[in-house]
Chain A
């Protein structure tokens, strides 16, 4: 049974991660995680200190737990660049300092790095307002490129066909089939009836305005990052899915840190970087659950939490894992799930880190739509 320790500043509580019910804990690991939490209040998603918080918290947790595998995310620059306008030089500094923070962690911890960038951000050129369709258009707060269409009329399809800013319209079956061909053991855990009838992909620089998208207009959005930068002295890989086997093969002899740096493209990476395939054919992963799960599981994961899904039609009375956002099961085949050594995760991707890597202990910020609620530690295992 996994425990969640919530720290809402000067006030901590322990819960069963799956049911959300309060618990009393006598677990030494939970006590240790709670002490680490209380030493590191989260500054906020767009605060300059947010990435330093990741490094400080991770180093503290390493000192307490002595893990062999560390998974980190640095996301402040992504949140800031997405929502706010900066002068060119300041923008460059934001991304460069995120990389410097990852490098500072490596220097201080001595771990062998595998650093993965999710790719460049580019200015928003325009948005497609699909609120007027006869059918229902569904996108999400953090997606720019994809949108799902449910029960469109003939008139809707004609309208969509006429949009120059739309790159393609793909039926649900075509979408699934493309990934089933690329990934023979493709997993679809969600109810396919709640997937959209059609998936829309925007042209580069364009985004959707629909039910579910953010109230805050984005300033920058992810580019079509079919290739993303990776840096590691462990060796070269060609596809995001190869990162898991690479790390697992070296773990018996190395302490390894997998570090995801969001919104960061090739030019901010060290010269010895290499580029890695992200996605299949016309589908590239945006920063988010599918990207993280692809890296962590070594499999394509576009249907773990599909774009355009009618999440609101799931049964609200049977919700599990209430602290875990969309996720209602612990993902299988994750990087650390069956790793016999000790593992941790720390990051400022909220409600997320504790699920995607399968680590023993994780600490992440607890922020929703940039509102800073505090931090959360999750203890999945303490038997190592």
Chain B
């Protein structure tokens, strides 16, 4: 029996799936570690980073363990690249209704899955969605996009905002740095998600490795929809690339110059103090959203200068899911014990 969650389509007769999260039981796919979470913590939505969804809101960050990729530079390799079986003592067992209640206790506006790949825990996430929907709490995720069409459809039903990693633009890059043979399913899924969800895209840039692919990525995004925000991350050498050189910021920024004519919302960050985290109005170039970056998972909203998602200088609409949310809008210390 083949697993149908990601494009590895693992044969479960051989044991657990590559990600370690699925096995065959009585002719069905079984989720091995249901309702096991590696974290639940409040964070700014900009830190995920989502820049064009509910700006200023408080997200409850969740994740599980395991991944279908083996990125050589993975920042969360200590949890994403490990066998989930070996990590069960660090996980929290939290039933879906309790997890949603936790988001309410912590005053969170939304729930975002972002530590590892959500496709490895879709059955649990479907259950969380059921309770989150009742409480009017939207869900979002970071994904590598290497899902089957069926799983992509499931994700599109769970998540209303999706941040997809497009890590390079060639099979060769994905083969060498990620460990999968083809990029095509990812490109297909970006198009699928863009039809139903709010989509942002992230690409890590590794100097002299994939920086020559940046313009191709920009053109691909442009051809889907030019208002999709694109985050270009300076590689933070981690995991199996710890000894690598940090990409030069000025040179990488220069390499993005031609792409800026194609896409209005390009951000270059993942390093402390980045100057390229503000949103400029595509119409007149005025700053309409100011942000501050502390590097990986440390971005925050500084000022939202586009009431009703509109530039006050020229009236151009700024592409956005929802609008400005007050950080403490849902703050509470009185809560029901269960939902």
Contact = CB atoms under 8 A, between A and B. Distances in A.
B249 A211 contact: no
A322 B293 CA distance: 9
Contact of A312 (B76, B106, B246, B248): B106
B296 A15 contact: no
A382 B110 CA distance: 46
Interface in B37-93: 38-42, 44, 56, 58, 75-76, 78-79, 89-90, 92-93
B290 to A, nearest CB: 9
A313 B56 contact: no
Interface in A302-326: 310, 312-313, 315-317, 319, 322-323
Contacts of A331: none
Contact of B106 (A136, A316, A372): A136
A9 B238 contact: no
Contacts, number: 110
Q: How large is the interface on B (under 10, 10 to 19, 20 to 34, 35 or more residues)?
A: 35 or more
A9 B337 CA distance: 48
A129 B92 contact: yes
B98 A132 contact: yes
Query: Which are the 4 A-B pairs with shortest beta-carbon distances?
Result: A316-B327, A134-B337, A11-B249, A373-B295
Contacts of B109: none
Given A6-B272, A313-B328, A11 B250 contact: yes
| Overall SS of chain B's interface | loop
A209 B328 CA distance: 25
Nearest to B37: A131
B107 A216 contact: no
A212 interface: yes
A212 B41 contact: yes
Contacts of B248: 10-11
Contact of B298 (A136, A368, A372): A368
Given A136-B105, A313-B328, A8 B300 contact: no
Interface string B213-243: 0000000000000000000000010100010
B271 A373 contact: yes
B79 A215 contact: yes
Interface in B12-52: 38-42, 44
B294 A150 contact: no
A234 B333 CA distance: 50
Nearest to B327: A316
B135 interface: no
B335 A215 contact: no
B112 to A, nearest CB: 14
Interface of A: 6, 8-11, 13, 15, 20, 22, 44, 129, 131-132, 134, 136, 150-151, 153, 209, 211-212, 215-217, 310, 312-313, 315-317, 319, 322-323, 366, 368, 371-374, 376
Contacts of A9: 246
21 contacts: A6-B273, A8-B246, A8-B273, A10-B246, A20-B292, A131-B40, A136-B105, A150-B333, A211-B41, A212-B41, A215-B90, A312-B42, A313-B107, A315-B327, A316-B58, A316-B301, A316-B327, A322-B292, A322-B300, A323-B294, A371-B75
B246 A316 contact: no
Nearest to B335: A151
Interface string B295-312: 111101110000000000
Interface string B273-285: 1010000000000
A238 B308 CA distance: 61
B39 A317 contact: no
Contact of A319 (B42, B271, B300, B334): B300
Nearest to B272: A373
Nearest to B39: A215
A216 B76 CA distance: 10
Contacts of B44: 316
Nearest to B115: A215
B205 to A, nearest CB: 14
B172 interface: no
Contacts of B272: 6, 8, 323, 366, 373-374, 376
Nearest to A376: B272
B39 A322 contact: no
Contacts of B271: 8, 11, 373-374
Contact of B331 (A44, A151, A313): A313
A317 B294 contact: no
Contact of B89 (A150, A217, A371): A217
Contact of A371 (B40, B90, B296, B334): B296
A220 to B, nearest CB: 16
Contacts of A312: 42, 58, 106-107
A366 B296 CA distance: 12
Nearest to A131: B92
Given A151-B333, A209-B92, A371-B238, A15 B298 contact: no
A371 B236 contact: yes
A10 B249 contact: yes
B94 interface: yes
A39 to B, nearest CB: 16
A315 B89 contact: no
